[in-house]
Structure 1
């Protein structure tokens, strides 16, 4: 039997949870009087844990599905200085209300002239298709401020914050980072083949990630770069599909399939959660748009 020592003991919703450090360096999570070994341990059956699970000291855990149909409990809170810098920074200089509350002030958006010291028209130009990116960060007829304003309106109507929408994307990135450190990444195929999905608020979410040669530059003067692309999606359940078919009964089958795809799938990169966290920017209407409505649906933050 392994000797364990208690690292943390905090009350959470009337239930005590414990993170235990084994003498081997592995960690375990105790939840409702049951102990669970954390990844790289795997399980043949789905652990009886909430996913995501947030603990009282800022730690977070997500259950993943591996390519061998096994389950693993990943710690998904930031654990490195670089992760902290990327995942907790907001643009306080340009958007103090966003940094303080998680959503933009309409007044601040109305009067903003630059972001990260870069003029808005220059950001819009760099974001156009064929500039820094072939497909662009904005559509050919879009501008940065119209997208920021429109998406801030959507997020407020959803009753959620930009920070809450960035968090599950950071969870995915932190899972990827753990597997990169463990060499659980197929470098020959440039793919994260070890994990094929995760569980979020009762939903099974499919995840597919690939690495590239890197070098994607940011439209803002922030030093953010991109080297990975990620597909995140989940299927509608029967209740959701019935609801949407009834609500949008005038759509043709082809139009309904398009709606379904836009609602349940996003293609994104590691740049996007930082853009959301810092600026409330989800990109314009391109193939890379990380739509806030889709994020709430896919990760189960809101239901249809």
Structure 2
């Protein structure tokens, strides 16, 4: 806990301090943060036991006595709280009756409930997959549970406390805890681990971010989900994830009266009305591979930028190669399921702008998943398309690996010329006079500077 203003911390044990509503523990595996779920005067606790919880694990049960009121039997776990009543709690209430009749001190009750005394003021219960820490000081009992969630566990463990700050809220300000992590600094407001005022201090690896790995699997056709595929394999596909290509295309079309009833289609669609899935996949596969890149690389860049912006609220993003970006995210309460029916979904859009070059691209969290798994950047007829060349131009490390803007333009022109010719030949052979399936594929996918798309969710 280096660089800490000690005047803002209250030492309650050899390895424990109180700060901004948190109990902080300097443990062998790093910083531990605990949040209070029970806080009341010790004199009001007539009895205390640890008993099996209603939904698994263990719960803290206690009897609170306040002058002028009936005694109240209550319980608390890390995720729930309430009163003890009815037949299901009869055994726990009987235990409280027995403890209350014993007139044992609160310290003895903690000991009898298998709390281990760590220091003069701190006790720890750590059994039955349940951990609680009790702090008894100045006539006050506080019971803390380990804080977790928001993908912050590893970040917090590797952090150091900087200082206690005053954080503005709607009706004034509250004490908050400022921490310096290995790759970002951030503020926590008890009892949540959701970071605010987060700032990246360096680029972070996918493992440091906690970015989930993309699973790899081989289809009977030889197509590798989450891997690399040659374009001929893509052109020969008849199904994906056990669904025919025609069915997947139908799920990808803009929602309408003729939409399949077994999928909540996107209003705008993943493909335009005239787009073809395999032609779209083939064209984009050629662009990415001829530029010496992989869909996994593009997908990871998209997913990482979206992850830190939507999960941690970071707007100034430092990516691979220390390239810097502005990220503006917009989330929704709803979700859009993937048309590949692979149990992935998304609910956020974000726009990434390269601060040095000004290149920008509009992206989505679901889009990052589809790029990583299938090399699918959405169809040229969809307003949600994020063309691979626009992603490469925006992310500096990808642009450098691809050979720079001139090489990107050359390859895109070459690929589009080839696919336009192949498309024209195919239409001539079939006698179909409709528009080319790849029309507009090379056009910029991003909206005009300063514009934002609606969230990539159901009904988008």
Find the structure with the greater CA-based Rg: 2
- Could you say if the C-alpha distance between residues 140 and 67 of structure 1 is closer, same or farther in structure 2, counting changes exceeding 3 Å? farther
* Cα RMSD (Å): 3.4
1:107-146 correspondence runs (5 A): 107-130=232-255, 132-146=265-279
Q: Is the partner of 1:231 in helix, strand or coil? A: strand
- Identify if the C-alpha distance between structure 1 residues 227 and 161 changes in structure 2 by more than 3 Å, giving closer, same or farther: same
Change (3 A) 1:39 1:203: closer
- Contact conserved, 1:128 with 1:137, CA < 8 A, in 2? yes
Q: Deviations over 1:170-222 (max 9, x none)?
A: 2124324652xxxxxxxxxxxx4x52443443532221112112231221121
**C-alpha contact 1:90 1:279 (8 A) present in aligned 2:** no
Alignment deviations for residues 9-43 of structure 1 (CA, whole Å, 9 cap, x no partner): xxxxxxxxxxx9645554269xxxxxx8425526x
1:152 aligns with 2:281: no
**1:235-274 deviation line (CA, Å, top 9, x unaligned):** 564xxxxxxxxxxxxxxxxxxxxxx9xxx32222211121
Q: Secondary structure at the match of 1:212?
A: strand
Once the two structures are superposed, residues 102-132 of structure 1 have per-residue CA deviations (whole angstroms, 9 ceiling, x without a partner) of 4312332232101111111111122122251
TM superposition score normalised by structure 1 = 0.60
Secondary structure of the corresponding residue to residue 201 of structure 1 = helix
Is the contact between residue 38 and residue 74 of structure 1 (CA under 8 Å) also seen in structure 2?
no
SS in 2 for 1:215: strand
How many residues align? The count is 216
CA–CA distance in 2 between the matches of 1:268 and 1:178? 15
Unaligned runs of 5+ in 2: 4-27, 33-155, 161-179, 187-195, 257-264, 406-460
Greater per-residue strand proportion: 2
Summarize deviations over 1:73-95 as a string: whole Å, max 9, x none: 464524799x53xx321342257
Q: Does 1:279 align with 2:378?
A: no
Matched residue, 2:216: 90
Q: Are residue 165 (structure 1) and residue 263 (structure 2) matched?
A: no
Distance 1:214 1:294, change over 3 A: same
Matched residue, 2:158: 27
Relative contact order (C-alpha < 8 Å, sep 6+): which is higher?
A: 1
Query: 1: CA distance between counterparts of 2:327 and 2:346?
Result: 18
Gaps of 5+ in 1: 4-19, 30-35, 43-65, 180-191, 238-259
User: Does residue 295 in structure 1 map to residue 391 in structure 2?
Assistant: yes
Change (3 A) 1:79 1:93: farther
